[in-house]
Amino acid sequence: MTRYAAEVNQLTAAWLGRTDGSGVLSGAGLWPLLAVLAWSADEPGRGELAGAVGLPADECMDAARDLLKEVDDLDGVDAALGLWAQEAAHVRPEWRDTLPAGTFGELTGDASTDQPKLDAWANERTHGLIERFPVQAGPELMLTLATALALRTTWERKFSDEPWQVADGVWSGRRLAGLSRTTPEAGDLRVTDSAAGPLTLTRVAGDNGLDVHLVLGSPEAAAGDVLAAAVPLVGPGSGSGSDGLVDGAALLESGEVSPWPGVSTVSAPRPGLVLKTPRFRVSSLHDLLRQAEVFGLRTVASGERGHFPAIGPVPLRVDQARQAAVAIFSATGFEAAAVTAIGLRTVSLPVHSSRAVAVSYDRPFGFLATHRSSGLVLFAGWVDSPDDWAPPGEGSRPAARPGVMRERLPRPDGT
């Protein structure tokens, strides 16, 4: 698919390893944003972001552009980039022009205007699966950069919908919306020992080159660890025999199925794979700053200075970083979407603890010109009609005594 699959998967596995594994997430939706920020940042944030991306920082912008294009070109997948900024952010045109092709819009700083615009983009780009943009608009949101990723596939072999009464485990006694099917491809089932313990993986093939792998670990294994361990096992080179994987055909031949989670043997007219799973819809909203160190965001989301000089002269830091994601597994197919957004704000000006007095001569006033050592008043005057400003050379008169003693002083005789 793309030369950056390994780097994206590495980020996904690292993210999974720091979560409880529940819900749904997309490392592919986040990775291009981190790459753009890495290219745009200065040190030390630049190095931290590049470390999360897995590439040198000066390669990251090209990589973000290539990944989004290659993902968008996949059958059944749509990928999009969006950038919105307030005029006050003074985004450099040359920086914007280096970004992957996408939507570029303006922010007003008014949430009642900006939020519906961002929400509409998320809804449109995910075909209605995600209705709300994950970053909150408002006066402090100077710039937001986002990706939208939407996937849809129809199963090559559909499932049957049926009630499923689970006998054991935490779902015991529940009547689930079950899906079942029998296929001849026993090799779609694979098992292996991993750092998270024994794993069972089952591939469900879509008709447009997209697959969904169902992963089961032992009951005591942490969900995040199970998923992180499964990530490197679903690539194109991960067949039976690689990474200790054993497929279902080999299990049938050996008859040794008891150590593997969820695996058993049943009577059937011919060899193959009988798969049962519940229908599901899961959704998540992730606050990425809670795991800032995993994504290289710790430095660029803190401090008293800006971190992105390539974006523009206004000092900016990351203020929000969130992902909204949803996945739906049904009898006929699978669809999923994620909108990932990072919001930047201006760095607050330093707060001074001292106080000063201020004065403003904003109405008629007088003045005295004195001799310092003696206190002699040399000139006294009153200003009640100061000059209007005019650019030099445009008819302004010499300012020798502007506004001073404009009235003719009376002579000693009173005339």
Helices 60-72, 45-53: crossing angle, 10 deg rounding: 40
- Between CA 146 and CA 130 the distance in angstroms is 13
Q: Within this chain, do residues 330 and 377 fall inside the same structural domain, yes or no?
A: no
Q: 142-165: per-residue pLDDT in tens?
A: 999 999 999 999 999 999 999 998
Residues 6+ apart with CB under 8 A from 244: 192, 193
Of the three residues 346, 379, 397, the one that is the final residue of a domain is: 346
Of the three residues 288, 318, 346, the one that is the final residue of a domain is: 346
Mean pLDDT calculated for residue range 162-175: 88
The CATH number linked to 285 is 3.30.497.10
Residue 134, domain member (yes or no): yes
> What SS3 state is found at 122?
helix
Residue 162, domain member (yes or no): no
> What SS3 state is found at 296?
coil
What percentage of the chain reaches a pLDDT higher than 90? Answer: 67
Of the three residues 271, 304, 333, the one that is the final residue of a domain is: 271
Q: What is each CA distance from 276 to 102, 119, 160, 166, 204, in whole angstroms?
A: 41, 37, 10, 11, 12
- Between CA 175 and CA 164 the distance in angstroms is 5
Q: Within this chain, do residues 53 and 118 fall inside the same structural domain, yes or no?
A: yes
Residue 172, domain member (yes or no): no
What percentage of the chain reaches a pLDDT higher than 70? Answer: 83
Q: Within this chain, do residues 236 and 105 fall inside the same structural domain, yes or no?
A: no
- Between CA 267 and CA 22 the distance in angstroms is 34
Lowest mean pLDDT among 237-246, 259-268, 358-367: 358-367
Q: Within this chain, do residues 25 and 67 fall inside the same structural domain, yes or no?
A: yes
Residue 40, domain member (yes or no): yes
Cβ(368)–Cβ(377) under 8 Å?
yes
pLDDT tops 90 at residue 286? yes
Mean pLDDT calculated for residue range 270-274: 90
Give CA torsion, residues 179, 185, 186, 188, to 10 deg: -70
If one compares 115 and 360, the residue with the highest pLDDT of the two is 115
> What SS3 state is found at 82?
strand
Q: Within this chain, do residues 36 and 123 fall inside the same structural domain, yes or no?
A: yes
Residue 145, domain member (yes or no): yes
Residue 136, domain member (yes or no): yes
Helix (H) / strand (E) element for 40: namely helix 27-40
- Between CA 282 and CA 325 the distance in angstroms is 8
CA end-to-end span of the chain, whole Å? 99
- Between CA 27 and CA 15 the distance in angstroms is 8
- Between CA 101 and CA 98 the distance in angstroms is 9
Q: Within this chain, do residues 109 and 15 fall inside the same structural domain, yes or no?
A: yes
231-236 contact pairs (CB < 8 A, 24+): 231/9, 231/12, 231/13, 231/16, 232/9, 232/13, 233/190, 233/192, 233/194, 233/199, 233/201, 234/201, 234/203, 235/5, 235/9
Mean pLDDT calculated for residue range 75-85: 95
In the chain, the number of structural domains is 3
> What SS3 state is found at 203?
strand
Residues 6+ apart with CB under 8 A from 119: 131, 132, 133
Helix (H) / strand (E) element for 4: namely none
Q: Within this chain, do residues 45 and 127 fall inside the same structural domain, yes or no?
A: yes
Q: Within this chain, do residues 247 and 293 fall inside the same structural domain, yes or no?
A: no
- Between CA 255 and CA 264 the distance in angstroms is 9
pLDDT score of 19: 87
Q: Within this chain, do residues 100 and 41 fall inside the same structural domain, yes or no?
A: yes
Residue 175, domain member (yes or no): no
Mean pLDDT calculated for residue range 306-324: 97
- Write out the two tokens for 110: 């008014």
Q: Within this chain, do residues 42 and 125 fall inside the same structural domain, yes or no?
A: yes
> What confidence category does residue 367 fall into, taking pLDDT thresholds of 50, 70 and 90?
low
In the chain, the amino acid numbered 246 is: V
195 lies in which domain range?
185-271
- Between CA 83 and CA 91 the distance in angstroms is 11
Q: 200-245: per-residue pLDDT in tens?
A: 999 999 999 899 999 999 989 889 999 999 999 887 766 555 668 9
Q: Within this chain, do residues 74 and 25 fall inside the same structural domain, yes or no?
A: yes
Q: Within this chain, do residues 17 and 112 fall inside the same structural domain, yes or no?
A: yes
Residue 144 has what DSSP assignment?
E
Residue 374, domain member (yes or no): yes
